[in-house]
Amino acid sequence: MGVTSQLLELYRVDQQLRGLTGRLKTAEAYLAEQDKLLGAIKSKHDAMALQLKQLEAAAHNDETEAKGLDLRIEKLRERMNNAQTSKEHSALTTEIANLKADKGLIEERALASMSKVQEFRTQLGALDAEKAEREKVREIAKRDRDERQKEIQGRLDELNAERTAKCHGIPADAMKHYTQRLNSGAEEIMAPLQEEDRRNMEYTCGGCYTMLPIELVSVLLKRGDLTRCPSCKVILYMEASLKDDISNSHEKKKSAGASKSAGKSGTGKGSKKKTVPSDE
Ligand SMILES: [Zn+2]
């Protein structure tokens, strides 16, 4: 069996594998997307929870500080009531007024903190709800992925075993080209030759429709060495039915030619008439 035929058999298995795992891959991508969205919600939630903690601590500090000032003002009032001189009385009045002004500022700050705390708590609540919703979606996505995995596992094992068997005996160099193509993310790994005009040996690449050099067609028709499209690099093969057709018509031509070898040389247009070359 030529290398191209070996690769084609492997390719047929890989196509089945691709078809089989397509739905699973979609499910996996969807699950990964849910994980990503959930992760984003969680980190937003964590950052906001940390900020909330800091705000709550600041508000608490302000409250403690305001209470401390209250106590000091209380004590100063007592001293003021017992003041011996008017000078002492007026000094204490000023100090109390200053402390009251300080306390007012602190209370204002605490109030602002508290309103921010409230705002953050509301936002965190919304994030909690969003997270719970997303977790539900993720759970469904995971179940779907697991089910698909379970559904195809048996057939997947079979195909993988078949694949291993098909790989056996393929020359390393050909295998390397094939694997490179497979991993390149290209839509087509292999493509059939398209016959445009048999008489003039015109064949195009089934991947990109570029006209192929006749030597290349000849190689595929005979030895079946690894052949790649010069343009799109797809690995080319010739469908068995086409190969048989060409061989048969070639045989017919040969026998027809032999029977009237004494007559005119063929019936073709002449200038471009060409048969399959006997060798590369
Ligand atoms: Zn091509």
Ligand 1 centroid to 21 CA: how many Å? 26
CB 65 within 8 A of CB 99: no
Whole-number Å distance, alpha carbon 185 to ligand 1 midpoint, is: 16
Distance 253 CA to ligand 1 centre (A): 30
How is the chain split into domains, by residue range?
Answer: 18-167, 176-258
How many angstroms is it from 165 CA to the middle of ligand 1? 28
CA 206 to ligand 1 center in whole angstroms: 7
pLDDT in tens, the chain (280 residues): 789 999 999 999 999 999 999 989 999 999 999 999 999 999 999 999 999 999 999 999 999 999 999 999 999 999 999 989 999 999 999 999 999 999 999 999 999 999 999 999 999 999 999 999 999 999 999 999 999 999 999 999 999 999 999 999 999 999 999 999 999 988 899 999 999 999 888 999 999 999 999 999 999 988 889 999 999 999 999 999 998 888 888 777 777 776 665 554 444 444 444 444 444 3
Strand-pair partners of 48: none
Q: How far is the CA of 207 from the centre of ligand 1 (A)?
A: 5
In which order are the strands placed within the sheet that holds 202-205?
A: 202-205, 190-197, 235-237
Distance between Cα 236 and ligand 1 center (Å) = 8
| Residue keyed to tokens 């000023």 | 94
Q: What's the rounded Cα separation, in Å, for the pair 178 and 190?
A: 9
CATH number for 18-167 (one of 3.40.50.10070, 3.30.70.20, 1.10.287.1490, 3.40.50.150): it is: 1.10.287.1490
Which structure tokens are listed for 11? 């390719």
Q: Tell me the pTM.
A: 0.61
Q: Ligand 1 mean position to 235 CA, how many Å?
A: 8
Ligand 1 centroid from CA 220, angstroms: 15
Tell me the CA–centroid distance for residue 7 and ligand 1, in Å: 17
Q: Calculate how far, in angstroms, residue 205's C-alpha sits from the geometric centre of ligand 1.
A: 5
Rounded distance from Cα 226 to ligand 1 centre (Å): 14
How long, in residues, is the chain?
280
Q: 187 alpha carbon to ligand 1 midpoint, in Å?
A: 12
